[in-house]
Amino acid sequence: MPFLRRTPSGFLLTCVMLATSGLASRSPAQTNTVLPMVNGVVNNYDQGDFGKLTVWFGYVSFETDRRYIQYGSNNFYNPEPSIRLRGPVDFFPGVHSAVFSTTFDSNVTGEWRLLGTIASANVSTDPDGDGTLSVFGSNSTITHTASRVVGTTNFELTGGGTLIIADDPFTAPIFENLNGTVRLTGSTLTASTRFDNGGTLRFEGGALDTPVLNNTGRVEFVSGTYTLPNLNNRGLLVVSGGEVSSDTALALSSEATLRLAGGKLTVTALDNTGGHVDLSGGTLVLTTQDLAVDAGGPLGDNPVVGPGARVELTTGQTDVASGHSLTLAAGASLLTQGGQNAGTVHVAGGTFESAGRAFTNQASGTFNATDATLRFTGNGAAGTDDGLQNFGTLNLLNTSVHGDVRSPAGSTINAGGSVTFDGLVSGAGHFTGGGTVTFSGGYSPGDSPALVPHAGDLVFAPGNMLTLEIGGLARGTSYDALDVSGHLTFGGTLALAFYGGFSAGDLHAGDTFDFFNWGSQSGAFGTLDLPALAGGLSWDTSQLYTSGNLSISAVPEPSTYGVLAGCACLGFAVWRRRARLR
């Protein structure tokens, strides 16, 4: 029976040590051995790799000079011992029992390798500094049956150390990480009641099985695929890799921060009540929520989607309120199902895509895009008002715009550098700026006939169709016209269409349409699609590339052709007669 007795040099701890089966060839077992203790510490004791250690009171210390110390199986601690690891310690397979609270702590060099099972009323770990507590091996588990937290916790990790859950499962009804680091690298940590995290919890391929995760520290997902439990986040949640999802909304209290630095986070919604969202990378998917950019929005009042980050709205739209802004940095992207902007949108080297429904830039809205890609493929009601509806200002610099754009009177498209449109652009909105605008998917100036100025250069690409409406003879009010301050490059197809009841019967010889004014010009339309005229009239295109005009000419009657032919024959006969008389 082990016992503790006082000696002149300190305390003696009596331990019963029994040889285990399969190890008889090693050093003989020791029985009823009395170990010297100084201030209740068993110092530098190397038990070997066999036997059983029973500790009553005090604690066992393994110092840094012990390169390899192994416990045997079925060790017993009672009561309240502390196992201090200052060198590597291996626990052999078996059930190691502790009656009361058992503490395992280590310093910077300590490492605990569990190959068996710890069964105790309570187990806590207190690695000092950067010490590492590792749990791995064949069928390794830690099972606890009672609770304490700072009274009610089954497992505590304190002192800033690290617990690694590597190969085999780790089980505790309640797990409390006060200020240490828990790394899940390849196995599952099960906290059947809850996991309280005040330190760092890192997912590196392992998993956490718990109904409730309370976080006031840092939870980081590095790799792997995870489904979030019920998460009460009042700390820092980081997704830097892997795929993380939740079937419910993710709550962000005023103390909380969500940092997306990589990987993918998919949630139904962000219930943000004053928390901070840092989108510096990765992908955020909101499956049911609109992206409201205002004081109560899920990403904050003026969100910035950082370089390389992406936000996807599966069913929701983006609504930017007046006085607020949404920014997409270089390489960032946003996918939205339509929406509207009454404030400011900045796309600086990123991609803005609206699908499913039209996106509207309100009269108060400013949409800035530099070195950007804009895609507007959504449809409006009943197939009308598709793509981008611009009633405000578009500031475009070296940007490509895909999809249809309607920019009616009162709106502005300010173009700098090279700006290309591959969808149908329509409306009487003015084009300002000194850049080059290229239309390749169609251009129809005017809401009804209008005069539309272009302050820079204008290019009609080979695949473009320019449609000009004719509703009368007044330039800019009854028929469409373009004034290009810079260089105008003709190409593609020119199509004329009658408007507002005006028809071919209203045209007469001598009518002229001054469709184009330019600073300089080059090129030519590949096709002229001109409406049929009344009998005796034809389109005169001879001045199209010199003065920008198309006019109506009279076609001579057949009798007129006969008279002209007769006159020509008579003149020829007179010329021949005179030749003979010479």
Domain boundaries, the chain: 407-582
Six-digit token string for 454: 């272009």
CA 461 vs CA 122, 257, 441, 481, 514: distances in Å: 77, 49, 8, 18, 22
Q: Which residues of 476-515 are buried (b: 16+ CB within 10 A; e: fewer)?
A: bebbbbbbbbbbbbbbbbbbbeebeebeeeebeeeeebeb
Residue recorded with tokens 């205002």: 294
Strands 310-313, 333-336: pairing is parallel
Q: How far is CA 500 from the centre of its chain?
A: 48
Q: How many CB atoms sit inside 10 A of residue 64's CB?
A: 13
Q: pLDDT-based confidence at 8, cuts 50/70/90?
A: very low
Query: How far is the CA of 166 from the CAs of 90, 202, 203, 233, in angstroms?
Result: 15, 12, 11, 25
Peptide bond into 79 cis (omega under 30): yes
Predicted confidence at residue 574, as pLDDT, reads: 42
Q: Are strands 257-267 and 236-245 parallel, antiparallel or unpaired?
A: parallel
The beta-strand segments (E) located in 92-151 are 95-106, 111-114, 117-125, 132-135, 141-144
Query: pLDDT tens across 136-189, in order?
Result: 444 445 554 332 222 233 566 665 667 777 766 777 788 888 887 888 888 788
130-150 confidence digits (pLDDT tens): 455 555 444 445 554 332 222
The answer to whether 417 touches 436, Cβ cutoff 8 Å, is yes
Backbone angles phi, psi at 506, to 5 degrees: -90, 0
Burial class (CB in 10 A: 0-12, 13-18, 19+), 67: exposed
Mean pLDDT, rounded, for 327-351: 98
Q: What share of the chain is helix, strand, coil (3-state, %, to 5)?
A: 5, 55, 40
Q: What is residue 567's three-state secondary structure?
A: helix
pLDDT digits (tens, 9 = 90+) for 233-267: 999 999 999 999 998 999 999 999 999 999 999 99
- Output 190-195 pairs: Cβ under 8 A, ≥24 positions apart: none
| Residues linked to residue 260 through DSSP beta bridges, in sequence order | 239, 279
Q: For residue 217, which of 239, 197, 240, 191 has the smallest C-alpha distance?
A: 197
With 60 as the cut, is the pLDDT of residue 507 above it? yes
What per-residue confidence (pLDDT) applies to 186?
A: 81
Average pLDDT over the chain reads 79
Percent of the chain past pLDDT 70, that is, above it, reads: 66
106-110, 199-203, 367-371, 553-557: which has the highest mean pLDDT?
367-371
Question: Taking the model in full, what pTM does it have?
Answer: 0.80
